[in-house]
């Protein structure tokens, strides 16, 4: 039972949703919650308002201030409209682009938002139907928009929907705009939302934008001659019921691939995701049908995208003939290694190139960059921070790739967010390049470890839902801050990095150092003398606290790979126990 003060506050907020400002179906649902004997669902629906996190606005669909519905989406859009009008007073016309994924209510939320923007005198480009998130990012730049939104909850379960907001560079919104928009949204009362804008300010986007986007995707190819030589490799691809269904096979064909094998049941566009529990390519259950197809056809590579086609999942065949999911760190390694290697071969490295990774992503990417004299940057989780670096260095240095451990990669800067469309096409090319050298993708990955050092990564998360869950997650963070470990896995602690204070401390010697980030974040990192790295952070988009583990190991030949993995897994398990996980 929640405390009485909170319950009274929640009931008062819910009572406001019974007014005539809200439609009849909403009022009925709110009354049902108020009438329930157990107030848990009522509290979770109203105890707070949804806010922009690392992935924008995201939550379970339903009535309430803490739910995705036309009123919370409407308030976000009205607040964003107000902020755009304050920021771009010098422009004769403010323009926004709107996209959406396959989720239930995504089209409704997209059309409602289009009407609200139009009611505020803002020109709207609305995609005719579902489209990948990276195409929305591209369209903002292509059309010279000042902002854009896409309705999606990425890889979350079917109960969720979300609202990602973008700025004029095609990137998700960062400080100070994100906080300023939150403040604008907080001022919005339901009666302030202007739902009925004119249709003449809404323009529909269709195939022409698709063609322009695919033309740019094709420029990501580094070795078209390799694809031409191995254009018939067997590529299994699944969109997992989402937006990749049309454009990812089209992108692979643009690259020159001719043997793309689909999963008909998962080509069905549906917000109910009928063949999976969760449409997340990180999870083996979501990849089960694609892996089964791979065995049937003896595929060279398997790829998947999540519902909004920004994340890429990759499956390869190991040396025992088993198809395994390549984790996000390994996917990013393959991309970065390939891009740098091929650019060096072509003499295309000019000395001004850079890559970006997130602080929780494998340090082997940094090692590849260092050994090849490529500048690299570490940023917080979220591609908006990768895009921020690109924006700061625009016209000065050349971005050649960036990624994070959660299955996201962006191979070119015409998109400023995770891009599974370009990434899938480029991964097909990497598979062809490996075959051209007499290797599988699995062997290519092993060879990267042999050249740059071996590491193993694992992610563990704890789910804690609702108000009580959020409090518990914060308490876990507080405990780690108050009592950081002095050693892990038998190795003394080198640094405890607290990104909320931007100070790194050695708990043994007492030495301190400043962390080079512009803003603070609720993240802790424990780094030992032997290179073990553990990162702890509450998710910005889900009711989870996440633990990221990376341990180093030795590898002298492909034949030692299994033993190195087993040893690393054992070390990770031991560290988990030490941390009480």
Q: Are 252 and 423 in contact (CB under 8 A)?
A: no
User: Which range, of 46-55, 165-174, 215-224, 563-572, averages the lowest pLDDT?
Assistant: 46-55
The catalytic position among 154, 422, 455, 535 is 154
Peptide bond into 176 cis (omega under 30): yes
Q: Which two tokens stand for residue 23?
A: 């439609």
Question: What ranges in 17-166 are assigned the alpha helix state H?
Answer: 24-35, 40-46, 70-87, 106-119, 133-142
Using the CB atoms, write b or e for 487-500: b if 16+ within 10 Å: bbbebebbbbbbbe
CA distance 253 to 232: 11
Q: What is the rounded CA–CA span in Å between residue 291 and residue 423?
A: 19
Confidence grade of residue 273 (pLDDT, cut at 50, 70, 90): very high
- C-alpha radius of gyration, the chain, whole number: 24
Distances (CA, A) of 92 to 95, 121, 184, 228, 553: 10, 11, 22, 48, 59
Report the pLDDT averaged over residues 36-49: 92
Q: Where are the beta strands (DSSP E) in 198-326?
A: 202-205, 235-238, 260-262, 301-305, 312-317, 323-326
Kindly report, residue by residue over 303-334, the tens digit of the pLDDT: 999 999 999 999 999 999 999 999 999 999 99
Q: Is residue 185 within a helix (H) or strand (E), and if so which, with residue range?
A: helix 177-187
- b/e string for 216-254 if b means 16 or more Cβ within 10 A? bbeebbbbeebbeebbebbbbbbbbbbbbbbbbbbbbeb
pLDDT, tens digit (0-9, with 9 covering 90-100), for 125-160? 999 999 999 999 999 999 999 999 999 999 889 999
Pairing mode, if any, of strands 524-528 and 491-498?
antiparallel
Q: Are 81 and 116 in contact (CB under 8 A)?
A: yes
Kindly report the three-state secondary structure assignment for every residue of 464-530: CCHHHHHHHHHHHHHHHHHCCCCEECCEEEEEEEECCCCEEECCCCCCEEECCCCCCCCCEEEEECC
Q: What is the DSSP string of 453-480?
A: -EEEEEEEEEE--HHHHHHHHHHHHHHH
Cα separation of 464 and 576, whole Å?
19
Report yes or no: 424 and 391 within 8 Å, Cβ to Cβ: no
- The average pLDDT across 183-196 equals 92
pLDDT attached to residue 49:
82
Task: Please tell me what DSSP assigns to residue 173.
Answer: P
Determine contact, residues 210/254, Cβ cutoff 8 Å: no
Q: What percent of the chain has pLDDT over 90?
A: 92
CATH for 213-452, among 3.40.120.10, 3.40.50.11310, 3.30.70.20, 3.40.50.300?
Answer: 3.40.120.10
Topology (CATH) of 48-205: Alpha-D-Glucose-1,6-Bisphosphate; Chain A, domain 3 (3.40.120)
Report d(CA 410, CA 404) in Å as an integer: 9
Measured from the Cβ of residue 265, the count of other Cβ atoms closer than 10 Å reads 11
Average pLDDT, the chain: 95
Is 220's pLDDT higher than 80?
Answer: yes
Give CA–CA dist 444/331, Å, rounded: 11
Tell which wins on pLDDT, 55 or 90: 90
The stretches of 36-129 forming alpha helices (DSSP H) are 40-46, 70-87, 106-119
Compute the Cα dihedral for 6, 12, 18, 21 and give only its sign.
negative
Q: What is the CATH number of domain 455-578?
A: 3.30.310
Share of the chain above pLDDT 70, in %: 99
Of 252-256, 296-300, 353-357, 378-382, the range with the lowest mean pLDDT is 378-382
Helix, strand, coil % (nearest 5) of the chain? 40, 20, 35
When pLDDT is cut at 50, 70 and 90, the band that residue 260 belongs to is: very high
Per-residue confidence (pLDDT) for residue 55, from 0 to 100:
58
Whether residue 186 is predicted with pLDDT greater than 90 in this model: the reply is no
Q: Does residue 496 surpass a pLDDT of 90? A: yes
Average pLDDT over residues 68-88: 96
pLDDT of 503 over the 80 cut: yes
Give me 429's structure tokens.
């090319």
**pTM of the predicted model as reported, rounded to 2 decimal places:** 0.95
Tokens of 142: 């292509």
Residue 154 designated active-site: yes
Give the pLDDT of residue 1: 43
State yes or no: pLDDT of 56 exceeds 80: no
User: 2-6, 361-365, 387-391, 576-580: lowest mean pLDDT where?
Assistant: 2-6
Contact call for residues 133 and 308 (beta carbons, < 8 A): yes
In degrees and rounded to multiples of 5, residue 347 shows phi and psi of 70, 30
d(C-alpha 263, C-alpha 295), whole Å: 13
Do 48-205 and 455-578 fold alike per CATH? no
Where do the structural domains in the chain lie, given as residue ranges?
A: 48-205, 213-452, 455-578
- Maximum CA pair distance of the chain? 71
Beta carbons within 10 angstroms of residue 16's beta carbon: 14
């Amino acid at each position: 039972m929640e405390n009485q003060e909170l319950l009274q506050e929640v009931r008062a907020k819910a009572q406001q949703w019974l007014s005539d400002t809200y439609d009849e179906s909403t009022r009925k649902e709110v009354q049902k919650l108020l009438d329930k004997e157990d107030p848990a669902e009522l509290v979770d629906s109203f105890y707070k308002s949804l806010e922009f996190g690392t992935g924008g606005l995201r939550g379970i669909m339903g009535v309430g201030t803490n739910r995705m519905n036309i009123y919370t989406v409407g308030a976000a859009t009205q607040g964003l409209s107000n902020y755009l009008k304050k920021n771009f007073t010098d422009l004769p016309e403010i323009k926004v682009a709107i996209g959406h994924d396959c989720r239930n209510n995504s089209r409704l939320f997209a059309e409602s938002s289009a009407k609200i923007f139009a009611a505020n005198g803002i020109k709207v480009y609305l995609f005719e139907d579902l489209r990948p998130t990276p195409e929305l990012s591209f369209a903002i730049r292509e059309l010279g928009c000042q902002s854009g939104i896409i309705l999606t909850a990425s890889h979350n379960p079917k109960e969720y929907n979300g609202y990602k907001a973008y700025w004029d560079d095609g990137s998700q919104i960062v400080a100070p705009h994100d906080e300023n928009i939150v403040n604008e949204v907080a001022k919005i009362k339901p009666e302030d939302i202007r739902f009925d804008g004119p249709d003449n300010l809404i323009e529909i986007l269709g195939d022409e934008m698709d063609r322009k986007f695919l033309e740019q995707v094709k420029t990501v190819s580094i070795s078209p001659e390799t694809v031409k030589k191995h254009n018939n490799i067997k590529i299994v691809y699944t969109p997992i019921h989402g937006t990749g269904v049309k454009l990812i096979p089209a992108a692979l064909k643009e690259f020159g691939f001719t043997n793309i094998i689909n999963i008909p049941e998962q080509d069905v566009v549906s917000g109910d995701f009928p063949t999976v529990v969760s449409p997340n390519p990180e999870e083996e259950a979501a990849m089960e049908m694609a892996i089964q197809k791979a065995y049937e056809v003896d595929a060279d590579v398997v790829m998947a995208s999540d519902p909004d086609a920004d994340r890429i999942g990759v499956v390869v065949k190991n040396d025992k003939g088993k198809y395994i999911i390549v984790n996000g760190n390994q996917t990013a390694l393959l991309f970065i290694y390939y891009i740098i290697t091929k650019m060096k071969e072509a003499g295309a490295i000019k000395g001004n190139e850079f890559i970006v990774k997130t602080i929780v992503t494998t340090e082997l990417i940094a090692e590849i960059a260092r050994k090849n004299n490529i500048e690299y940057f570490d940023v917080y989780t979220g591609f908006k921070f990768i895009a921020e670096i690109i924006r700061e260095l625009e016209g000065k240095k050349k971005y050649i790739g960036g990624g994070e451990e959660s299955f996201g990669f962006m191979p070119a800067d015409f998109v400023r967010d995770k891009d599974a469309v370009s990434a899938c096409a480029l991964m097909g090319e990497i598979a062809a390049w490996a075959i051209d050298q007499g290797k599988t993708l699995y062997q290519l990955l092993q060879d990267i470890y042999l050249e740059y050092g071996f590491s193993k990564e694992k992610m563990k998360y704890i789910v804690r839902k609702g108000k009580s869950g959020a409090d518990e997650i914060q308490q876990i963070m507080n405990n780690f801050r108050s009592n950081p470990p002095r050693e892990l896995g038998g190795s003394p602690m080198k640094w405890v990095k607290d990104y909320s204070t931007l100070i790194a401390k050695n708990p043994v010697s007492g030495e301190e150092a400043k962390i080079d980030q512009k803003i603070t974040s609720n993240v802790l990192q424990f780094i030992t003398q032997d290179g073990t790295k553990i990162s702890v952070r509450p998710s910005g988009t889900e009711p989870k606290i996440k633990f990221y583990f990376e341990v180093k190991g030795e590898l002298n030949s492909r034949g030692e790979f299994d033993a190195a993995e087993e040893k690393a897994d054992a070390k990770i398990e031991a560290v988990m126990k030490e941390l009480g996980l």
